[in-house]
Amino acid sequence: MTAVPVAVGRRFAWSGWRRVAAVAAAVLAVAVAYVAFRGQFVLPHSDEGGTFRFFNTVRNWVDDNRNSSPVFLFFVNQIRLGVSVLFDTLQTVLQGMGWLGVTAAVGALALVLAGWRIALLAVAGFLAFGILGLWQESIDTLALTLTAVLLSLAIGVPLGILAGRSARFRRLITPVLDVMQIMPTFAYLAPMALIFLIGAPAAAIATLIYAIPPAIRITALGIREVPHASVEAATSMGSTRWQLLRKVQLPMAKRTIVLAVNQTIMMALSMVVITALIDAPGLGENIIQALERVNVGNAFDAGLAIVIMAIVLDRLTVRASQRVELRERAGRGSSVTRRRLLLVGATAVAALAVAVGAATPQGRDFPESWFFSFAQPVNTVVEWVETNLFAVTDGVKNALTSWLLNPLQEVLTTAPWWLVVVVVFGLGLRVSGLGPALTAAGCLAAVAALGLWQHGMETLTTVLVAGVLTLAIGIVLGVVAARSPRYAAIQRPFLDAAQTMPSFVYLLPAVALFSATRFTAIVASVIYAAPPVIRLVEDGIRGVPPTVVEAATAAGSTKRQLLWKVQLPMARPALLLAANQGIVMVLAMVVVGGLVGAGALGYDVVAGFAQREDFGKGLAAGIAIVLLGVMLDRITQGAGGRSAAEQAARHTG
């Protein structure tokens, strides 16, 4: 990929009927080859694969060298110590302040930063932690999440800015981000526990790995979205690069950077349960314990606490940034004195509460008489649903499985592997260009080389179906939300809940309704992956400059024309990012799917975490999931009509 736009993404530009004839001929050739070679070259699965053994030897090396190799002594262990110190400080401070201190402090902070409405929400949210009887665990989770989020932003935002300004850096870092986001945490959880030991530091680092990519990607998107005209105007007036960044790009990208902060928090909170498997403190442990006892109600309580925390943090950060923006636009005025008074007052009240909270047992331990749990009612409802709706849900599952899932899986698993690779190459070529097509085909061939072809095809089927469903739902709801702010406001808490409610909470009822099947995995994937898609689509369409919308309306467009001819095309980068993130999130759920009957790669990863001798297979399966993700990404990245490299070349600056 050179910087010359013309030479990039050479595609075969034939016109009219010749193109149709060529496509038809290609499809016919594929069909004939499939029928001819069906069932051959299918690379059946074997647990004794050579790659699996190789990874086992790698693991043994790590095992043996942990306390002697300089890499570990001076690098890895220092990182762990640093993270450990940060977490311990946060945890001690927050626990020490007691419920009274923390609630008051958060309320005061929210009041000063975001206004009285958010302050009320924050106080109510934190009181809810106590009422649910989960105060200690909630504070532990909060400390862990803050540790991970602060580190993610500290590292991620600067990297995002760099990626936004430098196309070369962006190309370099994209595959790394793909791996970090798609590689299932389960696959590297055991070796991570080996390197960073167990407990909060390892959990924070695992969370960091998962939560940094959206910080970087969305920040980069925000920087790139700054109108070229503004950048040119600033440069022509003589700004240095640093001034350009600080005075033009960052302020204009602020709304999108806040979205990055928001998504980082959401991703960090979604790791709460998995990290509990390596003894991370907090609400995750409650959920795992509730799952052991198959008690959905208890899991719901802890899940609700996580959702509340997510909503409070989200609203706080969004509103705080909005107010800063408003204030900057309005200019400084007489409200400065009033704000100073408010600041002093709030600090005084908070300090008093902290003192009381730290000193007295009533202020430290949440009063038990206020406890209330949703466990009983939730269990009753769930049992009713499971008993009475089973017929309907079972029918839906069977229908979708026999009409969509099974035929697709049949085709993919019985076709010769080279045929599938060729088809993927052809698709990539047609949609995105030569480079991405080669990458996509290469990734698929690598899956075969890892010895995971059959399982890879089974997982690909599930992912394709889930991905298509997610994108369809996501785009529809995102468009609706962009056009109706009231609907958007109502929808937002549900999106937060769907994204942050640990899937383990609703997986048990899902298993009761849909049995342990691939369909259950698809349902879980769609619930998890749709919210970010909806949000990004909504943000993208809202980001279309109002002047353009006005011009189009003035020229006489109907609402439908406005949507299809103006808003969607102009929101293309956001739509592509939404599609990309949707696929990534669906892939992130492949392992969870393995826990509820989807089998294939997801189950292999879980097995790798559970049995030492399967570690190699588990790691290989994790890599295979990443390869599938990269393949899907490369095929879809050009779906807007141009390859990403061309777009990057247009956005130089």
Q: Which of 518, 535, 542, 634 binds other proteins (CB under 8 A)?
A: 518
CB of 399 to other proteins, least distance (A): 9
Which of residues 155 and 198 has its CB atom nearest to other proteins in the complex?
198
Residue among 162, 155, 158, 199 at smallest CA distance from 180: 155
Please pick, from the candidates 276, 464, 566, 624, the single residue that binds other proteins as defined by CB under 8 A.
276
The reply to whether 67 sits near other proteins by the rule CB under 8 A is: yes
Bin 238: left if φ > 0, else alpha if -120 < ψ < 50, else beta.
Answer: left
Residue length, the chain? 653
What is residue 505's three-state secondary structure?
Answer: helix
Residues 6+ apart with CB under 8 A from 16: none
User: 200: closest CA among 102, 66, 92, 64?
Assistant: 92
The CA distances from residue 246 to 230, 239, 254, in Å, are 13, 10, 11
| By the rule CB under 8 A, 198 interacts with other proteins | yes
> How near is the Cβ of 62 to other proteins at its closest, in Å?
11
Nearer to other proteins, 190 or 471 (CB): 190
Of 160 and 594, the one with the shorter C-beta distance to other proteins is 594
3-class DSSP assignment, residue 65: helix
Q: Which is nearer to other proteins, 197 or 351 (by Cβ)?
A: 197
CB closer to other proteins, 143 vs 193: 193
Among all chains, which residue has been given the structure tokens 């030991």?
A: 197
Please report whether residue 606 would count as binding other proteins according to CB under 8 A.
yes
Tokens of 638: 């050009």
| Closer CB to other proteins, 464 or 541, in the complex | 464
Say if CB 595 and CB 602 are below 8 A apart.
yes
Only one of the segments 3-11, 64-72, 117-125, 322-330 lies at the binding site for other proteins (rule: CB under 8 A); that segment is 64-72
Shortest Å, Cβ 457 to other proteins? 15
CA-CA distance, 367 to 294, in Å (whole number)? 28
**In the complex, minimum distance from the CB of residue 528 to other proteins, in angstroms, rounded to a whole number:** 17
Which is nearer to other proteins, 235 or 515 (by Cβ)?
Answer: 515
Q: Which stretch binds other proteins (CB under 8 A): 73-81, 145-153, 234-242, 444-452?
A: 73-81
Look up residue 613 and give its two tokens.
Answer: 């001798």
| CA nearest to 282, candidates 142, 452, 80 | 142
Of 325 and 394, the one with the shorter C-beta distance to other proteins is 394
Asked if 89 interacts with other proteins (CB under 8 A), we say: no
Nearest in space to 474 (alpha carbons), one of 588, 626, 577: 577
Nearer to other proteins among residue 251 and residue 597 (C-beta): 597
Name the 3-class secondary structure at 136. Answer: helix
Should residue 92 be labelled a site residue for other proteins when binding is judged by CB under 8 A? no
> What's the min distance (Å) between Cβ of 261 and other proteins?
24
Binding segment toward other proteins, per CB under 8 A, in 417-425, 581-589, 596-604, 622-630: 596-604
Per rule CB under 8 A, is residue 360 in the interface with other proteins? no
State the maximum Cα–Cα separation within the chain, in Å, rounded to a whole number. 83
Give, in order, the Cα–Cα distances in Å from 230 to each of 234, 514, 642.
Answer: 6, 53, 25
Whole-angstrom distance, CA of residue 610 vs CA of residue 596: 15
The residues of the shown chain that bind other proteins, judged by CB under 8 A, are 63, 66-67, 70, 72-74, 77-78, 80-81, 190, 193-194, 197-199, 276-279, 285, 288-289, 291-295, 386-387, 390, 397-398, 401-402, 406, 507-508, 511-512, 515-519, 594-599, 602-603, 606-607, 609-614
